[in-house]
Structure 1
Amino acid sequence: MHFGIIGAGLAGLTCAARLVGAGHAVSAFDKGRGPGGRMSTRRVETPLGQARFDHGAQFCAATTPGFARQLADWAARGVAAPWPAAGPDAHVGVPGMNALVADLAQQHDVTFGCLVKGLVHDGRQWWLVLDGERRGPFDAVIVATPAEQAAPLLSLHAFPMARAAAGTASQACWTAMLAWADPLPLDWSVWQAKDAKGNGALAWAARNSAKPGRGGPALGDPECWVVHAGPDWSRRHLEMEPDAVIGLMVEEFAALAGMALPEPLVARAHRWRFARPAGTGNTALWDHTLRLGACGDWLTEPTIEGAWLSGTALADRILAPVVA
């Protein structure tokens, strides 16, 4: 069969890899300019060179044998490397977190910068609706987008799937990207809030340039930090302008660091509206009659492994023999 996949993140591309391995064809479409999504790496030019920030997912770790094998494969090929500062099993993409998604994307037919606005089923095959055109036909369609974007795509065709997506709430997250010419005089590179619910102003702070393959001042590059606000703080400041948010977050980071911060080379804020989905416990959704499915970390847990597990589970369901 020829599958159309909406969303070329880790879940969708993991599913694609398994389907292609079983002899099917896949065409994926993603609204982003390139691979990454919430595993994106932001690059900013400065007088000292390029500053790079993993401003979404910070690292990944394996708790299941399947993802452990995937992580080991990435590490063996230099696509991932251990980052002990974040934990004994923590790994990061090299040279950025988006390297993990890019590695899968290059193996498939992926069209970026392509926003799919709807689905049409003619009784036999599927078509994807874009601005002023359609793509297809496809024998089956997989929706691998965040729940908030999946719900309207699924609503006209599979109400139970759409209801599951619509009922999944995501926590927002404001992220600060900060760079300096010289290293900050701190004896730590990773800080994580002890409050499990993340009710404080900040939830995470990491010296991004200390990750493997990132460069940093030792190589003449800027010192880069990524700071995540807590979910409650992010919700309360969600509609503020980024320039106002970055000022507040720099103040919070200075308080955390216990020092007056020098003027940064880069100070930018990014708003993730759908940063941490709650999960539904379904792992993946598939309607064999319609040949329509959904996968993503909103169905499992808001981790890189969660996205991988969901894409794997959906492919397994699709490839399983149909029992009459």
Structure 2
Amino acid sequence: MKIIVPMAGRGSRLRPHTLTIPKPLIPIAGKPIVHRLVEDIAGVLNQKIDEIAFIIHKDFGKQVETDLMAIAEKLGSKGTIYYQNEALGTAHAIMCAKESMSGPLVVAYADTLFRADFTLDVTADSVIWVKQVEDPSAFGVVQLDSNNQIVDFVEKPTAFVSDLAIIGIYYFKSGETLREELQFLLDNNIMKGGEYQLTDALENMKQKGLKFVPGKVDEWMDCGNKNVTVETNSRMLGFLHAERQNLVHSSAVLVNTTIIPPVYIGENVTLNNTTIGPNVSIGKNCSVENSTIQNSLIQTHSKIKNAKLSNAMIGNYASFDGDFTSISIGDYSVLD
């Protein structure tokens, strides 16, 4: 089994946090989004992941590539880097990894997290992971027949056809078949809105009689902007706490400090005269003093003093000393 992760977009809606690193490497509960994503996919697949192919922009830099290769290694997989340097759509992005498209594979977009408990139907030609939503008009949805097979894909329906939204994770029994269909789009310049779309390839495959079924997830968490990323961090902390995972690193130094779970406290964090939680992540090598923090996400190597934070997101190597509460400051920022 292989996993292909298109992640060449910078994530402009999450700026300033994506000015220095791509969105999929933003930590959620102490671990990069893309790391949690591939871990959770591996858990659902319940089989060895032979290769993880990451599709990035060439400007991301060597450190990003090193970090991604380390994620693959931690899962016992081969890591491969491909480049998409033009934003030409989902089908074009996936085809940048065409050399890895063989055998069964999963395509997963690295800006979403999920929780699921279902068994993958390996007899299906494709499984499209979906989540029931209240407002399907904001999403691409699938329509099912009486046999629970997908019979139609509808992008942002104006009239109700289904409330099963496509979350951006797909299983294909044959990577070769997917590659052929995507190549057909590129060779024939089949575009919508100036982009090559994966859904066009899916429709062609369905018209040829391939069997598509849904894989329904219990939770779907977005990381599109600052507010929803902080919310996703909170929800993930809740899941991990319920699973009784230890989220406070043994090297953390707590002086006159109250912890209100769920929280994540990283390696070599120092907390002094502070109340942390609930729903707070603090990355490694941070220090917090004389502060109260809840419902917030703080990355690494940052210093916080005299703060009362809620719904805040603070980047790496930042410094904050002030009265603001719902703040968003990026890497290396100073606000005092």
Q: Same fold (TM over 0.5)?
A: no
TM norm structure 1: 0.28
Q: Which of structures 1 and 2 has the larger relative contact order (alpha carbons within 8 angstroms, sep 6+)? A: 1
Bigger fraction of residues in helix = 1
TM norm structure 2: 0.28
